[in-house]
Structure 1
Amino acid sequence: MNITDAEFKVMDAVWRAGPLSADELIAEVQSQTPWGEATVKTLINRLLKKGAIRSERIDGRHRYQAALEKEAFAMAESESLLERLFGGQVSPLVAQLASNRTLSQQDREKLKAIIATFDDE
């Protein structure tokens, strides 16, 4: 599912704080962006049409919640990035990231532990 950067800000608010009424969702997004109410409502409607969020009527009010799980979205985005930029190869991605920032000892230990789990298979 293609989610724009702007739509992602609404999704992030729903993932963090949902389910939310329209007013609550608008306020949550506006606390993180300079957008007006109309802009946020437009983004909400786009996400509803895409099926990324859904609306339920609870206590007479519409409440919005994620229909797309954050983990599933992150996996799809990661796979897409990996394919587009690195031909599906993980090691060049890690090398690229590591060459542009210093990996802490904790990061290196976590990476080694991840690799070790694959060695056990």
Structure 2
Amino acid sequence: MKVIWENAPIASNEVVKRVKQTNAWKDNTIYTLMTRLAKKEMIYIDKDSSPNLCSPLISEKECKREERKSFLKKVYDGSLNLMLANIIEEDSLTESEIKELKSILDQKQNNVRKR
């Protein structure tokens, strides 16, 4: 998806070429993935053009939101609090990271109060 988001519209064979630069996938695997993304209506493949051109139908932000929701639901029963608590308990956070997290939460709290 990143290759398509960053280069759309992009020829399907160019997607394959660029993906292969960072992955050891075979051409057929990449084409299969693109076909599945098209069936899920995440990308559009213009089969009337030669070569076929690919364009995103979903933004990167929207995709990340949906993936995050899916991950939370599958792994943490949809609980963001449970996931964050688990991360904080199990990972070593630097003082700088703790300050950054507090700042993010404070900003969110201020935004909620303004509503």
Classify the secondary structure of the residue corresponding to 1:35. coil
Larger Rg: 2
Moved over 4 A (4+): none
Matched positions, count: 111
The 5-angstrom pairing of residues 93-112 of structure 1 reads 93-112=83-102
Classify the secondary structure of the residue corresponding to 1:65. strand
Amino acid at match of 1:30: K
Classify the secondary structure of the residue corresponding to 2:98. helix
Structure 2, unaligned runs of 5 or more:
none
Distance in 2 between residues matched to 1:25 and 1:101, nearest whole Å: 36
Partner of residue 74, structure 2: 84
Classify the secondary structure of the residue corresponding to 2:72. helix
Amino acid at match of 1:39: T
Per-residue CA deviation, residues 33-85 of structure 1 (Å, 9 max, x unaligned), is 2222222222222222221111348x864321211212112111212222333
| Percent of paired sites with the same residue | 21
Amino acid at match of 2:63: F
Normalising to structure 1: TM-score of the pair?
A: 0.73
Distance in 1 between residues matched to 2:109 and 2:96, nearest whole Å: 20
